[in-house]
Amino acid sequence: MEIPIIIGTETEYGISVKNAREQDPVAASTLVVNAYKSCKGDVPNAVTSVTWDYDQESPLMDARGFLAETEPPISEADTSNVVNDILINGGRYYVDHAHPEYCTPECANARDLLLYEKAGELILEVSRVAAERLLLDNQEVIIYKNNTDYKGHSYGAHENYLMSRKVAFDTIVDGLIPFLVTRIVITGSGKVGAENGSNAADYQISQRADFFEKEVGLSTMVNRPLINTRDEPHADDKLYRRLHVIVGDSNMSEFSIYLKVGITSIALQLIEKGVVGKQFSLKEPVSAIKSISRDLSCKNQIELADGQQQSPIEVQRAYLELAKQHLTPEERTPVVEDVLEKWQFVLDNLEIDPGRLNRHLDWIIKKKLLDAYRQRHGYQWDDAHLQMIDLQYHDIRPDKGLYIRLLKNGHVKRLLSREEIVHAMHYPPVDTRAYFRGTCLRRFPKHIYSASWNSMIFKGKSGGLDKIMMDRPHFGTQKIVGELLNNCTAEELVKEIQGNASG
């Protein structure tokens, strides 16, 4: 692959305060994010003296080649720095309007991405507990890793994939829409009912499907598109593009998260290779994602642009077969091989009976819970108790969250150990530029003025500022800079890097 795979996710969490006089999600989110700074340890979780550098962010740049003529969204730069943490694991944690949001560091494979996303859930839980100590005795912070408040508002679980700038954006659109629309049979987190004026449903596969209204566009909050066109690479824009995927659900299942990013990375490799073009184009993709979400058998046919009829399982299987044919031995790393094997396993079992995956995929795990509850109590699908069970599945509190309780009791498939996840809260991946960022924040917090995804600004000895660019996400690894970071002072580090850059 010409451009090494780099993946990251951004997760907005739902939040409420039990027994609050009135709900103020902005204040609650601010309280929770700020609370993480107060958690004591040998090394701070976040570096409070370092600000986020917004200079190179451009949310209105469109991948179709123009600057959008629209009112800019409320800038994160306009919010106070007290609600913006730069984490020593290389990630970022901040308030995004009415939600606490966690961004993973850049990861080089699907397993690492899963690890750092799960570390984010623990970071939110640690923050929640710390924040609760500042509330009245009868109040409790509740945080959900889901996508809807059941009042018509949807919030996102966004994925980011580094791609070559050489691949035309229209080519990405052609190859990716059918994949993303049919991917929900694997990645959906399950949902009771329907929203956003969509057709009624007792239970559906995806929480996000009802909220998509067009095929391609820039917005992430209204008139949402299946393919987002934001062109903000956070890297050298002559070489790279960052594909910003907003169509996915927030997943609790480790298996679902792992496959979501793993198979999508592979699909993008196939697009880059030119083996996926328009052969899977759908006649009406926006309608298709809603109809697939309501088909719990996963076998109903959808119409392709050329008139063929295929099930979502068949479309996914076609991508899988192309991957087996076209990935080179070098590209088939142990993680990629494992993803291919699990992709095959899921499709085979979906075809026989989706219920066979009630330890693996979120929407099936959740449905098993809901079915048992309905049978025990005689509830119909429109009973409010089922909506409460739906929400409780995504609750991150260890004693209340239904998914977490299933995990503890060995009822769902586990891919990670608790020890790995705790370690990832405090240490960055070693094989991307996140290693450089996180390690510098740990070693030199008093010497750093600001940071962003693709740069760090150090405080010079004479009061000046020295900017270190990090515009290649697969550099800055432990292998490349580990010895420097271990042996240099902050001043020596800057001098060495600047000397190498000029040389």
Active site residues: 96
Residue 190 near residue 296 (C-beta atoms within 8 A): no
Question: What is the spatial distance between Cα 21 and Cα 416, in angstroms, rounded to a whole number?
Answer: 40
Beta bridge partners of residue 154, listed in sequence order? 148
480's CB contacts (< 8 A; 6+ apart) are none
Q: How many of the other CB atoms lie within 10 Å of CB of 53?
A: 19
Question: What is the spatial distance between Cα 280 and Cα 265, in angstroms, rounded to a whole number?
Answer: 18
DSSP for 334-403? HHHHHHHHHHHHHHHHHHH-GGGGTTT-HHHHHHHHHHHHHHHHT--TT-HHHHHHHHHHTB--TTT-HH
Amino acid letter for position 12:
E
DSSP for 72-129? PPPPGGGS-GGGEEEBTTS-EEEEETTEEEEEPPPBSSHHHHHHHHHHHHHHHHHHHH
Residue 451 near residue 441 (C-beta atoms within 8 A): yes
Q: Is 146 left (phi over 0), alpha (psi -120 to 50) or beta?
A: beta
Q: Is 106 left (phi over 0), alpha (psi -120 to 50) or beta?
A: beta
Beta bridge partners of residue 157, listed in sequence order? 11
DSSP for 469-500? E---TT-S-HHHHHHHHHH--HHHHHHHHHHH
Tokens 């509740």 belong to residue? 142
Alpha-carbon 50 to chain mean position: 24
Q: Which long-range contacts (CB under 8 A, 24 or more apart) does 388-393 make?
A: 389/192, 390/146, 390/190, 390/191, 390/192, 390/366, 391/144, 391/146, 391/150, 393/146, 393/190, 393/252, 393/365, 393/366, 393/369
Write phi, then psi, for 249 (nearest 5 degrees). Answer: -85, 160
Q: What are 167's two structure tokens?
A: 């691949």
For residue 409, the 8-state DSSP code is: T
Amino acid letter for position 160:
N
End-to-end CA distance of the chain: 28
